[in-house]
Amino acid sequence: MDLILGRFADIEISGLSDADLAEFERLLEVPDPDLYAALTGDTPLAPEYASTLFDRIKAFRAVDHDV
């Protein structure tokens, strides 16, 4: 999860609003196996963590970006 979230943050962090940053910090609290399963579509993310930011992270592909 560090690689996935880290690459997303490296590229997107400067464009995140304060609300998005707070949501990003909340997502970091989700246990890695649960967050990974939600990102890969194996299980839904708990409703209290579901957000447009999560959708952005899920759609993010680090290989599409020069990091």
Q: What is the pLDDT of residues 11-36, one digit of tens each?
A: 999 999 999 999 999 999 999 999 99
Rounded-to-integer distance, Cα 45 and Cα 35, Å: 7
**Helices in the chain by DSSP H: which ranges?**
2-12, 18-28, 32-39, 52-59
Q: pLDDT-derived band of residue 44, with 50, 70 and 90 as boundaries?
A: very high
Rounded-to-integer distance, Cα 23 and Cα 38, Å: 16
Residue 1 above 70 pLDDT? yes
State which amino acid sits at residue 6: G
Q: pLDDT-derived band of residue 61, with 50, 70 and 90 as boundaries?
A: confident
Rounded-to-integer distance, Cα 24 and Cα 43, Å: 19
Nearest Cα to Cα of residue 13 among 58, 23, 64, 38: 23
